[in-house]
Structure 1
Amino acid sequence: MSLTMAATRGLLRLTPKRTATAESLLEALPRRKAPAPVTAAVHRVAHVEESVVEGRPVIRLTPKAGASGAELLYTHGGAYVNPILATHWRILATLVASSGVTVTVPLYGLAPEHHVDEVYPLLDALYDDAQARSSRSRVFLAGDSAGGGLALGQALRLRDEGRPAPAALILISPWVDVTMTNPAIPATAPLDHMLGAGGLAEAGRLWAGEMDVRSPLVSPLFGALDGLPPVYTYQGDHDILLADAKKLTRGIRSAGGHAELRLYRGAIHVFVGAPWTPEARRALRHIAGVLRA
């Protein structure tokens, strides 16, 4: 673990853990901020186009130089209740500059006002559009935390419907089981200064709405894991979602698929959003390599 990662973890101790319990999560909902605007860093490297698809804002980032022809559909994290952050735009600015990928970012509806059954028609429309634009069928699905769960859920849906598979899945600290019932979670909980199982489980229930929280569209870890494209997971070991990331990787491999779990010692949840750390820079370089391959 680097000194900068250790310092970052230390600073998190000073920040209230909004997902500590169901009660703390619900108390935080009225104080949510608006979605972070596209940052200056993004505008430096990409042309920014805004549109509305299925009633939701969608932002497309096209590289100003070195476009590779690859397309990336990126779903942001936030426990399905929080909007996109400047951190997400920071990650995407780096990937556009380093890989030449064109990125589509849906600002999907959040719980408790919106639920999971609303998001997949939006993702389907954006995926079809990306497939139509990509001359070499180089369309990737990616996301962090809750967005990683959405990316995996969409890949399962595409497989089950017999539609063209993405080139690969890129999952950053993915949240793939909203029930938070993995018996290995308590062992990691004292190390995680950002997330709490109680609040996450409540957010998962809000997101599921009338759907079963164990549905693969809500918790894709409960789905069949065969027939998936290559899956690359980037995970810190000071994150309560580590146990399910390991379970996901084992499940894909057992089903005959290709899955890589790149584990970063001492790293926090969505550590890739902390570019001042060498752990984040290494992960972003590897992700860019996957997108260029």
Structure 2
Amino acid sequence: MSPAMNLTRALLHARPNVFRTERTLREALRHPRPDAPLPANLRRTCAVRTETVDGREVITLTPRRGATGTEVIYLHGGAYVRPLVAAHWRIVAALIRRTGATVTVPLYGLAPRYTADDAYRFLDMVYRAVLQRAGAHPVFLAGDSCGAGLAVGQAIRCRDEGLRPPAGLILFSPWVDVTMTNPGIARLTAHDPMLAPEGLAAAGRDWAGPRAVTDPLISPLHDTLADLPPTWIYQGGHDIFLPDAEAFAAKANAAGTPTTLHVWPSAFHVFVGAGWTPEARRALADAAGRIRAAGRG
């Protein structure tokens, strides 16, 4: 583990974990925060288009120099109940800088006010619009944490509805089973500075709304995972989502969906947002290479 990763993880352990219990989560949600504003560096380096789709904001960033025509739809994390934060913009900025892709960031509605059904209606509209704009260029779905789970869910919808599939899925620390029932979670809970199963399971129930928490659009691990696009997962070993990420990769590969799981044993949840660490830089470089390769193909 690098010194930068070690220090960042220690700082995260010193902060309160709002997911520790359902009570601590509910208390945190009593004081909602707005989405983090678009950073000045992205405004300088990208042409920014903001539009409203189905009543929700969609931000599209196209690099002013070196644009390739490749498209990425990036879905932010936050357990479906927390807004976009500065770390998400750092990930988006890194992907744009390393790939030349246009990145679209849909600000989907959060639980408990909104549910997965609201999000998928919104994302269907966004996805179809990006496909039309992309033409023959590749379109990737990417995201972190719950946003990565939502990206898989959207790929499942494309498969089931006969839509053009994404060129690939880029998943950072994906949340693929909101039930939080994997027995392997318990051994990692004390090591995870950011997440805890009780609060997350409550957030998952809110997000599911009228659906079962095992519905594949809520918990993609419960899908067959057959006939999905090539998938790359970047996962920390000190993250309670690791056991489900391992199960997802094994199931997807067994079903014929090519899936690569990269694990950094000492890294925390969505460590790619800590771009000052060499672990994050290596993960983002690999993800960007996958996106660039599709553009060359």
Give the structure-2-normalised TM-score.
0.97
Q: What residue in structure 2 maps to residue 3 of structure 1?
A: 3
Q: What residue in structure 1 maps to residue 79 of structure 2?
A: 79
Could you list the runs of 5+ residues in structure 2 that have no partner in the other structure?
Answer: none
> What's the offset of the Cα at 1:12?
1.1
Q: SS at 1:192's partner residue?
A: coil
Q: What residue in structure 1 maps to residue 252 of structure 2?
A: 252
What is the CA–CA distance in structure 2 between the aligned matches of 1:224 and 1:123, rounded to whole Å?
22
Give the structure-1-normalised TM-score.
0.98
1:42, 1:92 within 8 Å by CA — same for their partners in 2? no
Q: Map 1:205-224 to 2 at 5 A.
A: 205-224=205-224
Q: Is residue 283 from structure 1 mapped to residue 283 from structure 2 by the alignment?
A: yes
> What's the offset of the Cα at 1:182?
0.5
1:225-282 deviations in Å (ceiling 9; x for gaps): 1001100000000000000000000001100120000111210000000011000000
Query: CA RMSD for the aligned pairs?
Result: 0.8
Aligned residues: 293
Q: SS at 2:183's partner residue?
A: coil
What is the CA–CA distance in structure 2 between the aligned matches of 1:48 and 1:257, rounded to whole Å?
34
Q: SS at 2:30's partner residue?
A: helix
What is the CA–CA distance in structure 2 between the aligned matches of 1:142 and 1:34, rounded to whole Å?
22
Q: Is residue 41 from structure 1 mapped to residue 41 from structure 2 by the alignment?
A: yes
What is the CA–CA distance in structure 2 between the aligned matches of 1:162 and 1:50, rounded to whole Å?
29
What is the CA–CA distance in structure 1 between the aligned matches of 2:173 and 2:220, rounded to whole Å?
14
1:41, 1:90 within 8 Å by CA — same for their partners in 2? no
2:189, 2:240 within 8 Å by CA — same for their partners in 1? yes
2:69, 2:137 within 8 Å by CA — same for their partners in 1? no
> What's the offset of the Cα at 1:211?
1.2
Q: Is residue 24 from structure 1 mapped to residue 19 from structure 2 by the alignment?
A: no
**Identity rate, percent:** 52
> What's the offset of the Cα at 1:189?
1.0
Comparing 126-135 with 63-72, which one deviates more in the overlay? 126-135
Q: Map 1:1-293 to 2 at 5 A.
A: 1-293=1-293
What is the CA–CA distance in structure 2 between the aligned matches of 1:265 and 1:6, rounded to whole Å?
12
Amino acid at match of 1:204: G
What is the CA–CA distance in structure 1 between the aligned matches of 2:280 and 2:167, rounded to whole Å?
23
Q: SS at 1:191's partner residue?
A: coil
What is the CA–CA distance in structure 2 between the aligned matches of 1:46 and 1:93, rounded to whole Å?
10
What is the CA–CA distance in structure 2 between the aligned matches of 1:241 and 1:32, rounded to whole Å?
24
Q: SS at 1:234's partner residue?
A: strand
